[in-house]
Structure 1
Amino acid sequence: MTVLELTNVSKSFGALKVTDDVSFAVPKGQALGIIGPNGAGKSTLFNLITGNYLADAGTVTFLGQDVTRVPAMTRVRMGVGRSFQIPQPFEGLTVFENLLTAAAFGQGKREAEVEAGCAAILRDTELLRRANDLAGSLSLLDRKRLEMARAMATGPELLLLDEIAGGLTEGECQALVATIKALHTKGTTIIWIEHVLHALTSVVERLLVLDFGKVIGIGAPAEIMASRQVQEIYLGLEV
């Protein structure tokens, strides 16, 4: 089963084409990593998947339905969950209350209906010990965990992670990767933008490389990273 498929998707801002004829598909249960230099169009691609931006051309298909013109909140309730690069929790609420809020709005249910699911997500994301702490008191690692947990609380069929390992120490990064691996092992379909390559390649089955809005490669991580073009464009190496 294909969870997400983009077909010839393009997006421009004025004369600048930031996503250029992008096509790829993600089957259920797979983890796809997305890499590329700054300005390659990675965040724009996420915004096209979530509906924060609408494509100028092409088709976005989610769970077999054309969602190209579907607004962002509807896509959330269809099963598209997203974390953001800079965590912005409700700092005056507890960790558990943050999850309840995300779950209630994301799933369109009453809080009583989502409490058990939120408790399970706290366990899965190593946040159960911080459940009653204010979100504003969390360390960066736990704020990253909470950002991921809030995305999970919406009940996603597809989880989008946007540079979630950025800014962490090596030990913190390893701890977060272990959590992401565990979620993926349970069958979560993931698309992950990341600059911390060793973290990304320890989880994903495929890598997609963007450059100036175009897909320049997609395949197994070892194959992609061995590509001359990827090494020249992404790593800045003269091969």
Structure 2
Amino acid sequence: MPILALDNVSKSFGALKVADQVSFALEKGEALGVIGPNGAGKSTLFNLITGNLRVDGGTVTFDGADVTRQPPMVRCLAGIGRTFQIPQPFEKLTVFENLLVAAAFGSNRTEKDVSDRCADILVETGLIARANQTAGSLGLLQRKRLELARALATQPKVLLLDEIAGGLTEGECQELVDTIRSIHAAGVSIVWVEHILHALTSVVGRLLVLDFGKVIAMGKPDDIMASKSVRQIYLGIEV
């Protein structure tokens, strides 16, 4: 049974259709990449999965349960975690305190379990040396790491990554990719929206391509990137 499945999910804002009968299934332990041009509906897709947007039609199933009408908090507690394109931590709180807030409100663990798990996450995400540093003083890479750490603090079964590598140098991007690989290897299922394709394809086993809210292709990365229609729509290459 898939850990996450969307069946004919649709969403419109007036005449603008931002999700057009989107269907796909994510297997437990899988890493799936989502690509498409700007405005294709990638972030909207995440908002529909997390419940930040209500679907107009179709169903969202998570871990065997229909969560289509469930609010974001319920989905988070069930095990859907996410990052956002622009990290917005509590800047006056320390890195460790930011994780405590995420863990306390996004999971069902006891206070001691929360503290112990947050300490482990600081190690996993390379932030242990900055635990007592205020979030507002962090550079971009460390803010991205904190965004990832806060999502992990909610104890997700499925982690949604929204362009988390954007704006990083090549070296910083590789560091973050190594961390994401470790998270995936630990058993967390991942759906990753990203424009930096070499980073994305070094982690995911399948790619889903969106254009104008519609799934136009899905398959192995090599097959997708060799597709003439994908190259024309996503890369702007006439073929």
Considering the TM-score relative to the shorter chain, is it more than 0.5? yes
TM-score bracket, shorter-length normalisation: over 0.9
What displacement does 1:113 show?
2.9
Letter of the 1:23 partner, please give it. Answer: S
Q: CA deviation at 1:170?
A: 0.7
Q: Which residue identity lines up with residue 191 of structure 2 in the other structure?
A: I
Helix, strand or coil: the match of 1:97? Answer: helix
Q: Is the Cα contact below 8 Å between 1:52 and 1:71 reproduced in 2?
A: yes
Look up the match of 1:22: 22
Matched residue, 1:44: 44
Equivalences for residues 178-197 of structure 1 within 5 A? 178-197=178-197
**Which residue in 1 is equivalent to 2:96?**
96
3-state SS of 2:167 partner: coil
- CA distance in structure 1 between the aligned counterparts of 2:206 and 2:113, rounded to whole angstroms: 36
In the TM superposition, residue 179 of structure 1 has moved relative to its aligned partner by: 0.6
Q: 1:163 aligns to what? A: 163
Residue 144 of structure 1 aligns to which amino acid in structure 2?
K
User: Partners in 1 of 2:53 and 2:213 — Cα distance?
Assistant: 15
Match for residue 218 of structure 1?
218
1:147 to 2:141 alignment:
no
Point out the more displaced range, 65-74 or 109-118: 109-118
Instruction: Give SS of 2:60's match.
Output: strand
Unaligned runs of 5+ in 1: none
- For residues 148-191 of structure 1, the C-alpha deviation after alignment (integer angstroms, 9 at most, x for no partner) is 00000001110000000000011111111111111111111000
For 2:124 and 2:65, locate their aligned partners in 1 and report how far apart those are by CA, in whole Å.
Answer: 30
Deviation sequence 1:117-136 (CA, Å, 0-9, x none) = 11111111111111111111
- 1:232 alignment partner in structure 2: 232
1:125 aligns with 2:125: yes
What SS does the aligned partner of 2:99 have? helix
Distance 1:143 1:67 in 2: 30
Structure 1 segments of 4+ aligned residues over 4 angstroms from their partners? none
SS at match of 1:198: helix
Shift of 1:109: 4.1
- Structure 2, unaligned runs of 5 or more: none
> For 1:167 and 1:111, how far apart are their aligned partners in 2?
35
- The offset of 1:111, in angstroms, is 3.2
Distance in 2, Cα, partners of 1:54 & 1:174: 35
Give 1:110 shift: 4.5
Q: Matches of 1:113 and 1:101 in 2, distance apart?
A: 13
Q: Distance in 1 between matches of 2:188 and 2:82?
A: 13
SS at match of 1:2: coil
Counterpart CA distance in 2 for 1:180 and 1:68 is 28
Take 1:109 and 1:125, find their aligned partners in 2: how far apart are those partners?
A: 20
Aligned CA RMSD, in angstroms, stands at 0.8
1:7-51 Cα shifts (integer Å, max 9, x gaps):
000000011111000000000100000000011011110000000
SS of the residue 1:91 aligns to: coil
8 A Cα contact 1:100 1:111, kept in partner? no
What letter matches 2:158 in structure 1?
Answer: L
Q: Supply the AA of the counterpart residue of 1:19.
A: A
TM (normalized to structure 1)? 0.98
Q: How far apart, CA to CA, are the structure 2 residues paired with 1:108 and 1:66?
A: 20
